[in-house]
Structure 1
Amino acid sequence: MGKLERPSNGNDSEDSDSSEDGSIDLSAFEDPAPPDNLPVSTLQADPLEDPNPRIPISLTEDDANEVDSNVLRPSRNPLIRRQKQNEDIARTICSMVAFGRNRRHNGQQLMKGLLFIACGVTERVSRYLNYVGLSCSRRTAHCGLAALGKEAEKKIKRLFSNTDANIFSPAACIDNLDFQQSIHTKSVADSSTMFHGTWGYIHHLPHTFFNHLNHDELTLAALKLALKKSTNLEVQPRHFAPTVISDRYFKLTLKSQLTSVFLRYVASSSQKNPPLADHPPPVRPIKLEKPNLNMLKLMMASDNSSEGIGDVLSGLNKQAGLDPERFSSRLQIIEGDLGTCMNVLSLCELRIPAAYSKTSLANLISIPGAAHTMWNFAQSIFLHHWGDQTNQQDTGAWRVLKALGIPQEKPVTKRDFTLMISNMEKIHEADLLYCMLVVMGIENETLPEELPSMTSASIQDVVEKTFDQFLSGEALEIAINKKQTKLINLLLRIRDFGTVIEVNRSTKAGDTGRLIFMWKRWAVMGQGLKKLVHYSRHLPQLILLLEVILPKSLANVIKNLMLLCPSGREGHFVATDFYLEVQNFWLKYFYNHSGIGTNIKRLRDVFSINIPVLKSLMQVLNRESGMNVVQQSHKNKIKNVSINSFVRFAKQYNICLDEDKPKDFVPTSISDVYQQGIDAIQEDWID
């Protein structure tokens, strides 16, 4: 349904007919922007479609709130709810009466005006709320946001100029963001315009983190020396080959995944001892604390080319308040997707040799984001195991999704990576579950809704037997020798999907050690995955950079910058580039859908740098409504009906080959990309 909008009259205030006596006192803000300078939208949104391209994740407001903070729910005590409501009603009525008699008594109205902007209230509704004295005008609220934005700009400059920045400059995470100002009724003067911008935030590690580091290894001179030494570095297979420690860790990872699936779908433990390891052991976890993040102002420069990256760096330098000489003398980390990093590297190479240090860009380190790395490898692995969707007897990943009752849409486009990871986890858990049912000899039984109890020793015994029969290297070797194609495909899918699930879970746990263990496996697998042209080269380069080339202190800083925990809750870490995608959701979809169409100037000058303030105001409104903090996490669990449906499918098509059936359909063999990667590395090493 199209949106009905009033034509713009050159004034974005809902209180345009108020007299001078009804002016608003803005003395609480420093240097408020005059209303005449506020951006004005003369464009109408296209009522037929949303012209703005999607971000690569599908989020709801609750999903975004879970990443950033806690979820708020009403108190269960009716007396507390009633008392809170009475207090709020009395305070609101008094403020409305005071505001009606003298509009300089506008404290509550100014706060509510900002709250209503933060919550996405349309201008039409805001005009009525201002008329009844419940809030200030939208013009005044935008003046307040503009003043808050100036304070945020000053804070960014202070962060780049304080003593901590002299030790190590705040890292910047950036991503391209495209908007379209769409006009439904076009003319010569008015036409739809696409704006290509870049947005991001700076991430500053706490001062205490640097206390145990060698500050001499965090300088630009140390970086240049390390890179100079790396020119003679001979890349060897041992840099990525599995070690005794990594093999033992991967074995524990698969066993923990088996244990987790067993406790979730088969039976619960009736004993606390011996403890069941449903999570892998920690390797190198990041300290749990809320990060110090500050959003940058939206820059009208695209990072999709070397020229655009140059404009982005100039904009970043300007927002940091540093002159070119001072900016070039500091080591600066840039995080983003692989395309952004490649453009940064391309621009650096174009400026070699540079006549001056301030134009060389030798102080930049570009780090590909952990989330985009996971999404691209996961997509390639998923497509590799997808199977033949034209054959109903095929037992590939698509057929497992169908048995679970999930729509089988092939993930060939980068539209919704969160859904793709969720589906891969469900496929993996279903495969592990059926393997354990076969070991227990109960694959013909229907799993009950209410889980029975088993002793911890019995559960451990099932896990060990399942690992030996299906997940060990010997099990795969036996299946290959017997030429059991269907079983080989299943075992390879379990092993490859297990790496994706572990990368996702290690990211949430904030454990960079576990993450790099899996990255090393992916660095080998990438040589066998033919469609990963760029990541198959750049992921090994990143591993060498962190593990071999850079000084230990600098590498430690970068590892701690790859993940962050916005809510400060255990198990809720996210990758830095994923967090930026969440902020893109707020700017691009929440605050861009306010009933007035896309207004680029307003998004750039008012909203982009104030996103943290607006989100906190939404939490304030929830608390003002009597909400309490609730710790909530989304669980990716398969329902009992879907589980039993999959078990019937697995038994019918004999996916584990628990008995010989000569008339069984033989699917197309899936290649072992890990072995192909090892072979490719060996060939390159011999040559």
Structure 2
Amino acid sequence: MVQPSENEKVLEICKLLNKKPVKMTPKRFMEIFLASEDSDIAYLRRLWSVEKSGLKSTLRLLPLIRDEVLRTEGGQDAWSAFIQREAVDILVTEEPPRGAYPRGSFHSSLSVQASFFTRESQQLQDTAMTTDHMPFLYGLIMGMLQKRGPANESLQDEDAQEAAHVREELSADGDHPVSDGSGELALAPSLTGSNALADRFGQIATTICSIVAFAHNRRANFLQLNNAVRLYACGVSERVQEYLNHLGLCSSRKTAMSSLKTLAKEGAAEIRNVMAVQSDCPIAPTICIDNIDIEERVHDISVGNRSRTFRGTWGYIHVPNQALIQSLNWEELTLAAYQKSLANLKEFTIEPVHFMPTCEAKTSEMDVFKSQIAGVLLKYLAIPTNKSHSIPTDPPTLDQISHEKPTIHMLKMMDASDNSAEGIGQVFSSILQQSGLSAKDFYGRLQPMDGDLATIQNFNSLKSQRAPSPYGQDSLHNVIFQLGASHTMWNMPQPFSPITLMEKVLEATLYYCLRVTMKNENEVLSEERVTLPTTRWNSIVNECYERFCSPQARRVAAEADCPKLSNTLIQLHDFSSVVEAKRSMKAGDIGRLMNVWKKWCLMSQGLTSLTNYSSYLPRMVLLLTKILPPALQKYLCHNLLMSPSGQPNHFVAKDEWLELQNYWIKFLFNQTGNGTKIERLREIFSLNITLLQRMFQSLKIDCGTAVVHQSHKNNITSRSLGMFMQMATNRDILALKAPPKEKDKSKTQRATNRIILNPPKKNTNEKKAGIKQTSDIKKIDNTYLTGLAKMKMIIRTKDPELNRIKKHMVSENQGILTLPEEAEDSDQGETSSVDM
């Protein structure tokens, strides 16, 4: 507020300035006062720019001058031009430091490293750009964007609103799960509301700063080099990338390819580094391999330039967990200890008891079945009042694998297929070349490897062709192959049905069993779950287990005249083992998985379609439980599964993770728009596939939206459960309508009276509906008991030592008898009446 006395003083000063002999305007006075070099005048204005003394009052003059100038139209234009000139002068002084990184801002494609493309590195560079290098431009743009306030939802585009709705639906399910690399639901951290808007404005302002810096100095190329590789991974065409390079958003395609070549060299050097002989690790890193087929399509066919299918082999190196290594006895991890354990096979006798469940395994199987029943009861029917005292939906852990994020290095794709013994030999030659080791070092220590059944068969064929040989590179005596856990799980259930359907059928059947146990199978229930006392809830689970899932229930059902109940309970038992294998793998519990594999070892003996698995799976189980030294057993078991995200309950089998990489490399390679040149696939993509995946997904993360992967959770709708209930009731799959068992006649007499002497009259309605009569239903063999009986028969008659299982464990010249695999399943075996 201006005082009257101050106004009078200003008028007096103006009158004094207008007096002769030198008339002076107030503006001329201010000009001389601020620009004069006279020492006395300079002394008077000395405090104008001092922050604590006069700077604030000096800055108060500027808005006053601005307001006075902006009163006229011409003044507005003049003021805008003045501010623009001043802003340009400030911006010209701001630029990132020149020179090569780390002293400067230039990142060469010939020296770039994989750490350059990480999220952390990007955040550090963005912070330096906005706070140190070009803060004025960043503040100018952010101030302009934020001046207008948050945008109205009605003004947002449809894509932004849809993304917001997706985030709301996903957040309603609870915390955001972390991607496990196996294709399940995964969400990147995202913001909503004003936070999302501020993050978007900040991203826009930072990007503009980087574009301006690049346009002023094309060696300030952090954002551009990052975007060049990212856009290449996302399949942006070369023409579009050229346009974006012209705008300053990215570097050229040539620079992107040069960067990927440099990163491929870094990846090859990392392979040699991790494969080198280490003093703190007596065993070599595990190598997982699998075949890969991809078509190299040529559109313009000519002589010598035609489409062909590339059949190669690809894999990765899994570096051992140091915590696990340090907890084991190193002397049992050496090649000498491994060979000594195999040499003892001559005196080792394989017996069916090696695959039978122990007391701990029997208890675990009961807990598994009860947890599956409890999971269905909790999911579809009832909630206990006190969940902490209810039967858990997850069985107790037996042998948990560490969920520490693994260290993985992709191998360079090999132009050699593993579908023959010759191809396997070429694969090992390529691995030896990539490792940078001499043949003596590579074959002088134990080398664990993972692969599918066909790969292991071809490897054993190669060993047989080269035996006997005293040289490691010929005999391959140091290599121990393990069956991939996922391939085992995918192939073992093939005689039954696909795994996805098996899980749904298991849950639907258990749902029907629970309804029968609760005596409400004929009632129409609402979709809302009821709340039951915990004791009642637990008693339902226990009763359902004893009635339909226990070994005693299967034995009683097998003795009944009607085979319906026996067939259903056998199906429950078989399907439950497959579902348990899947869930134990995801939980990383190798103890539970090993119990399932032991059961499958016996079941595979009774399934004629699993000829090779009937010998290879028991062979691996024996190695991991009986033959190898304890430390080596634990190491190999804990190396079957891993958690790519480093999160618990997100484990995948190593061969399944490699299958996912096979998908990714084909997807990304086909999106690049450069034509399917296999050489580029081998030299660039195979070594950089994990980086390209991360760059592909980083666009969504930078946009602040949720990254959603396909969910593989098997959920059954209430309508589907209702239809299954109707089918189960009509077909009487639990034999609830079967006549009571006759006590005064033998089983043979009852069957004769039913089928020959007094055939029952068929119901006309049932015949029209296509429902089979009891006499028409075939009783299903219990594959577990059948397999056990067949193994006993083979021991008694053909192969007392079960040398067909010992086959390939040691070299043939060491005295182990080998039998042709074609004769393994020549007989169907016999049945047994004991369910273990």
TM-score (norm 2): 0.69
Deviation at 1:490, TM superposition (A): 0.8
Deviation at 1:277, TM superposition (A): 1.7
| In 2: Cα distance, 1:240 partner to 1:312 partner | 34
Letter in 2 for 1:109: Q
**Equivalent in the alignment of 2:150:** none
> Contact conserved, 1:68 with 1:566, CA < 8 A, in 2?
no
Aligned length: 598
**Equivalent in the alignment of 2:784:** 674
Post-superposition CA distance 1:369-416 (Å, at most 9, x none): 01001110011233xxxxxxxxxxxxxxxxxxxxxxxxxxxxxxxxxx
The answer to whether the aligner puts 1:381 opposite 2:496 as a matched pair is: yes
1:489 to 567, 578, 601: 567
**Equivalent in the alignment of 1:516:** 594
| In 1: Cα distance, 2:270 partner to 2:183 partner | 21
The answer to whether the aligner puts 1:334 opposite 2:467 as a matched pair is: no
**Structure 1: where are the runs of 5+ without partners?**
1-23, 33-61, 383-419
Instruction: Give the structure with the larger helix fraction.
Output: 2
Q: How does 1:92-107 map to 2 (within 5 A)?
A: 92-107=207-222
Structure 1 stretch displaced more, 92-101 or 491-500:
92-101
| In 2: Cα distance, 1:269 partner to 1:679 partner | 43
Closer/same/farther in 2, CA of residues 180 and 118 from structure 1, 3 Å limit:
same
> Contact conserved, 1:435 with 1:470, CA < 8 A, in 2?
yes
Partner-residue secondary structure (3-state), 2:389: coil
Post-superposition CA distance 1:656-680 (Å, at most 9, x none): 1222388562333222111111111
> Contact conserved, 1:447 with 1:644, CA < 8 A, in 2?
no
The answer to whether the aligner puts 1:450 opposite 2:556 as a matched pair is: no
Closer/same/farther in 2, CA of residues 115 and 631 from structure 1, 3 Å limit:
closer
> Contact conserved, 1:547 with 1:555, CA < 8 A, in 2?
yes
**Equivalent in the alignment of 1:206:** 321
Deviation at 1:124, TM superposition (A): 3.5
Post-superposition CA distance 1:493-550 (Å, at most 9, x none): 0000000000001000101110110101000000111100101110000011111111
The answer to whether the aligner puts 1:125 opposite 2:240 as a matched pair is: yes
Post-superposition CA distance 1:453-487 (Å, at most 9, x none): 11221111111111122122232222222221222
Partner-residue secondary structure (3-state), 1:180: strand
| In 2: Cα distance, 1:461 partner to 1:629 partner | 42
Partner-residue secondary structure (3-state), 2:615: helix
Q: How does 1:450-469 map to 2 (within 5 A)?
A: 450-469=528-547
Letter in 1 for 2:444: S
Deviation at 1:273, TM superposition (A): 4.5
Q: How does 1:166-177 map to 2 (within 5 A)?
A: 166-177=281-292
Q: How does 1:217-236 map to 2 (within 5 A)?
A: 217-236=332-351
Deviation at 1:245, TM superposition (A): 2.5
Deviation at 1:77, TM superposition (A): 2.8
Letter in 2 for 1:677: G
The answer to whether the aligner puts 1:194 opposite 2:304 as a matched pair is: no
| In 2: Cα distance, 1:177 partner to 1:369 partner | 16
> Contact conserved, 1:177 with 1:196, CA < 8 A, in 2?
yes
| In 2: Cα distance, 1:27 partner to 1:66 partner | 31
1:474 to 526, 535, 552: 552
Deviation at 1:75, TM superposition (A): 3.0
Partner-residue secondary structure (3-state), 2:482: strand
The answer to whether the aligner puts 1:554 opposite 2:632 as a matched pair is: yes
2:198 to 83, 87, 92: 83
1:113 to 224, 228, 233: 228
| In 1: Cα distance, 2:496 partner to 2:725 partner | 24
2:111 to 16, 30, 46: 30
Letter in 1 for 2:626: V
Post-superposition CA distance 1:104-133 (Å, at most 9, x none): 222211111111123333334323222322
CA RMSD of aligned residues (A): 2.4
| In 2: Cα distance, 1:429 partner to 1:356 partner | 54
Structure 1 stretch displaced more, 344-353 or 120-129:
120-129
| In 2: Cα distance, 1:82 partner to 1:139 partner | 35
**Equivalent in the alignment of 1:9:** none
| In 2: Cα distance, 1:593 partner to 1:64 partner | 23
Q: How does 1:185-584 map to 2 (within 5 A)?
A: 185-382=300-497, 420-584=498-662
Closer/same/farther in 2, CA of residues 512 and 578 from structure 1, 3 Å limit:
same
Letter in 2 for 1:448: S
> Contact conserved, 2:374 with 2:541, CA < 8 A, in 1?
yes
> Contact conserved, 2:178 with 2:647, CA < 8 A, in 1?
no
> Contact conserved, 1:447 with 1:640, CA < 8 A, in 2?
no
Deviation at 1:591, TM superposition (A): 2.7
TM-score (norm 1): 0.83
**Equivalent in the alignment of 1:650:** 728
> Contact conserved, 2:180 with 2:651, CA < 8 A, in 1?
no
Letter in 1 for 2:661: Q
Which entry has the higher C-alpha Rg, 1 or 2? Answer: 2
> Contact conserved, 1:109 with 1:135, CA < 8 A, in 2?
yes
| In 2: Cα distance, 1:185 partner to 1:64 partner | 41
Deviation at 1:88, TM superposition (A): 1.3
Closer/same/farther in 2, CA of residues 234 and 162 from structure 1, 3 Å limit:
closer
Closer/same/farther in 2, CA of residues 456 and 72 from structure 1, 3 Å limit:
same
> Contact conserved, 2:590 with 2:637, CA < 8 A, in 1?
yes
> Contact conserved, 1:149 with 1:609, CA < 8 A, in 2?
yes
Identity %: 39
Deviation at 1:90, TM superposition (A): 1.5
Deviation at 1:355, TM superposition (A): 4.6
Letter in 1 for 2:653: A
Deviation at 1:213, TM superposition (A): 1.0
Deviation at 1:242, TM superposition (A): 2.8
Deviation at 1:628, TM superposition (A): 6.6
Structure number with greater CO (CA < 8 Å, separation at least 6) is 1
Partner-residue secondary structure (3-state), 2:287: strand
Letter in 1 for 2:718: N
| In 2: Cα distance, 1:163 partner to 1:671 partner | 53
Partner-residue secondary structure (3-state), 1:176: strand
